[in-house]
Amino acid sequence: MRYASVVLDIPTRALDAAFDYAIPPALEGEAVTGATVLVSFSHRMAVGYVVGTSDEPPAGVPVEKIQPIAQVLAPSSFDDVAAGLAAWMAREYACPLPDAVRPFLAPGQKVRVTRAAPDAPWELACERTGAVDARWAALTPAANDFVPARSASRQRAVIEALRQGPQRVSELSATIPGARAAVTALERRGVVAVRSLRELRGGGDTTLSTAAAPRPEALTAGQRAALAAIDAAREAARGDVVLVDGVTGSGKTEVYLAAIERSLAVGRGALVLVPEISLTAQTVGRFRSRFGDDVAVLHSRLSAGERFDQWDLVRSGRARVVVGARSALFAPLAQVGLVIIDEEHEFSYKQDKSPRYHAREVAAELARARGAALVLGSATPSLESLERCREGLCRGVSWTRVEMPERPGASVLPDVTVVDMAEQFRSGGRSVFSGPLVDALREVAERREKAVLMLNRRGFANFLMCRECGCVPECPHCSTALTYHERGHLLACHSCGRTWPVRAFPDPSTRCPNCGSRYLAAFGVGTQRVEDELAMLLPPHVEVIRMDADTTRAKGAHQSLLERFDAAECAVLVGTQMIAKGLDFPEVTLVGVINADTMLKLPDFRAAERTYDLLEQVAGRAGRGERPGRVIVQTYWATHPAMRAVAAHDRRVFLDAELAERAEAHYPPYARLANVVAWGRCEKDVRSALDALAAAVRERAGDASGWEVLGPADCVKARVKDRFRRHLMVKAPAGADLGALLAPLVASLPRRAGINIAVDIDAYDLM
């Protein structure tokens, strides 16, 4: 008899370990690690996941009392290494064990089970996934001698179509009415052979014309050094980390491609992560041009069926290179030689729902467990990665930094001009665009080149304000000012997504909620307003393309907008921060930042780092071809170290000041930080729950050096969707095990109806 350790998918922190079940002899070949099973628990049936098997019964439990697995619901979707990684995530990020297992499951798989009749077997509820077989029809040799009856016009049409080559039966039916019946009749006569072939849904196999990846004649010195370091880390097979610190446009992607080629040559695959879905099309184009059908694509914009097809290509071994966003890290690629995280500094690598993992940390643990190498690439590496490279060692593995300070060929870093908008205002400037930016845009239009303008605000205006009393309309369900969207004339809450119609100004039906005045004015700047003003400023031959959360909601919208920009002779791409990373268009000679201060004043210790990273990244979109580039940054804080560092292309100007502040305030990378958020409809219960947790954490931490508890206090967004929100922050020494301290304390709190508590280890979102 064999035994299985099963993680039950029951939403409670009280079940923090796997339970042991017997594997009936009839299920021994199916109830393996990674399988989804149905078991009896506490007098009811529950779904669980096998995370390990053994020939030995669990110690201390009579064998006759061990219940058997009732049924296998789904085949294995992960192996023993992945099961160990899930257990590590649960400990590290203080999340329930089933939450840590779910990312490894097949796309579309649900927890709910159903059955057609009381005596029928249970079936796992899934989205429309699973393999899809397409029926293909082809002529047999017998077709040469077959003559259809005079009245069989459909059979003749089908035969004529198939003489051009095999076709899907569904395609024949779309062009020849009644083709299915004709194919069936011809199949009975032996004239047509029908077979089922695996059909791949979607898969992101579209590429931009600029996304080809030709081999360069020679690598730069920096590229050769990076490739040598990656090869050494891969051959060491112990999870060593290489940080590729290369300026924008230095050819990091070519380093990744060459490193993957060498990994594939020795039978090991690669996982490649990109921070934005909008980058996937370009990245996939480059990788597929080099590796063909060996590439699978995984990201959230694919349908469940499309994700399953790509996931299954990896599981079956037909694809050995996986490209995608954060979730691609959990693809069932067993023979991993490289894990690559492009733009590793990006905050989108931090998951905002349980399990609240950081892809960089999980990738490091995965590389260690698989004996692979982890490659981190960025022009603006995170302060945590830089600090680990300075120390040279983290959690028992080596961290190495390799610099790539030059761009290949004739391209050079763009000139950066920082424009003080306060000075522009004092000189009479009232436009969204400063004088230097207006001149530069007109020059781009005259030369028929391309430009990119970034503003990290969508909508037409940040808010409306009453001219008489100063009231700013807020969402009645959230503590958030409403954003005005001119398209559709509506006010939108970007926290809960609700909208309210607003008619064209002035309108008696649109009044101030405080004093009733109809004199409401739009303040601030959004991408819609920038788009409108560009249309008035530039000549008609310049195409203006807006790319933000509103214009990219539809499936495939990212790709279609980028294709429009790529195909245009002269265009300006206006967008939020999604356009700041990874896009490679050689025709772009101008980059403008409309307002560089949007994140600088946020109540977040990482605000300056985010601002510097974003500005340096978006500046790197200019001058990537033969023509030189120019960057114009508009700001009201021109003396800030982040602005001066971007203007000088010298990171040390920013780092020296920022690291000194972090060390003094005991923030990462010199400490670890956890953010515990409680929310619910009853403000009193939210306060009570978090006060009790704060007292327990302070008691457990005691007077230990390096530990500090801040709060509880209201969140910056104190109310969202009619839920009150408060948080507690815990600082700990850099090597402390925060998850092990917080998880049992949260689990021990008395349950309060309607109160939710989330533990975010190594928190990035403090709002």
pLDDT in tens, 468-526: 776 777 888 887 777 777 666 777 887 788 887 775 444 445 677 777 777 766 656 67
Three-state secondary structure call for residue 195: strand
Residue 243's closest CA among 379, 395, 405? 379
Give the β-pairing of 708-720 and 19-23. Answer: unpaired
pLDDT band per the 50, 70, 90 thresholds, residue 127:
low
Residue 212 has pLDDT above 80, yes or no: no
**Dihedral angle at the C-alpha atoms of 214, 220, 225, 231, nearest 10 degrees?**
10
Residue 133 has pLDDT above 60, yes or no: no
142 in Cβ contact with 191 (< 8 Å) = yes
Distance CA 511, CA 519 (A): 7
According to the model, what pLDDT value does residue 410 have?
63
Residue 244 has pLDDT above 90, yes or no: yes
**Residue 206: φ, ψ to 5°:** -95, 145
The residue assigned the tokens 């990462």 is 668
Residue 516: count of CB within 10 angstroms of its CB: 10
According to the model, what pLDDT value does residue 223 have?
93
> Structure pTM?
0.81
Distance CA 584, CA 738 (A): 40
Give the distance from CA 103 to its chain's centroid: 13
477 in Cβ contact with 719 (< 8 Å) = yes
Residue 292: count of CB within 10 angstroms of its CB: 9
According to the model, what pLDDT value does residue 32 have?
95
According to the model, what pLDDT value does residue 476 have?
84
517 in Cβ contact with 511 (< 8 Å) = yes
Give the β-pairing of 450-454 and 571-575. Answer: parallel
Give the distance from CA 346 to its chain's centroid: 10
According to the model, what pLDDT value does residue 214 have?
67
Distance CA 127, CA 402 (A): 44
163 in Cβ contact with 139 (< 8 Å) = yes
Residue 294's closest CA among 263, 330, 255? 263
Please report, rounded to a whole number, the percentage of residues in the chain having pLDDT higher than 70: 90
Distance CA 536, CA 547 (A): 19
Alpha helices for 237-279 (secondary structure H): 252-265
Residue 694 has pLDDT above 70, yes or no: yes
Core vs surface per residue 106-129: b (16+ CB within 10 A) or e: bbbbebebeeeeeeeeeebebeeb
Distance CA 153, CA 143 (A): 15
588 in Cβ contact with 629 (< 8 Å) = yes
Distance CA 577, CA 594 (A): 12
According to the model, what pLDDT value does residue 711 have?
86
Distinct helix (H) and strand (E) counts, the chain: 20, 33
Residue 230 has pLDDT above 90, yes or no: yes
189 in Cβ contact with 139 (< 8 Å) = no
According to the model, what pLDDT value does residue 745 have?
92
The more confident residue out of 523 and 38 is 38
482 in Cβ contact with 464 (< 8 Å) = yes
| Residue-by-residue DSSP string for 88-152 | HHHHHTT--HHHHHGGGSPTTEEEEEE-SSTTSPPEEEE-S-S-EEEEEEEE-GGGGT----TT-
According to the model, what pLDDT value does residue 174 have?
63
Residue 112 has pLDDT above 90, yes or no: no
Task: Tell me how long the chain is.
Answer: 767
According to the model, what pLDDT value does residue 280 have?
57
Residue 178 has pLDDT above 90, yes or no: no
∠ CA 404-410-412, nearest 5°, is: 55
From residue 220, how far is each of 409, 690, 737 by CA, in Å? Answer: 9, 55, 42
Peptide bond into 506 cis (omega under 30): yes
Residue 185's closest CA among 132, 137, 133? 137
The more confident residue out of 37 and 179 is 37
582 Cβ contact partners less than 8 Å away, ≥ 6 residues apart: 274, 275, 276, 279, 282, 283, 342, 343
247 Cβ contact partners less than 8 Å away, ≥ 6 residues apart: 379, 404, 405, 406, 407, 413, 620, 649
Q: Is 91 exposed, middle or buried (0-12, 13-18, 19+ CB in 10 A)?
A: middle
Distance CA 526, CA 549 (A): 12
Q: pLDDT tens, 63-82? A: 888 999 999 999 999 999 99
Residue 55 has pLDDT above 60, yes or no: yes
Core vs surface per residue 66-76: b (16+ CB within 10 A) or e: eebbbbbbbeb
Residue 634 has pLDDT above 60, yes or no: yes
Q: pLDDT tens, 264-278? A: 999 999 999 988 765
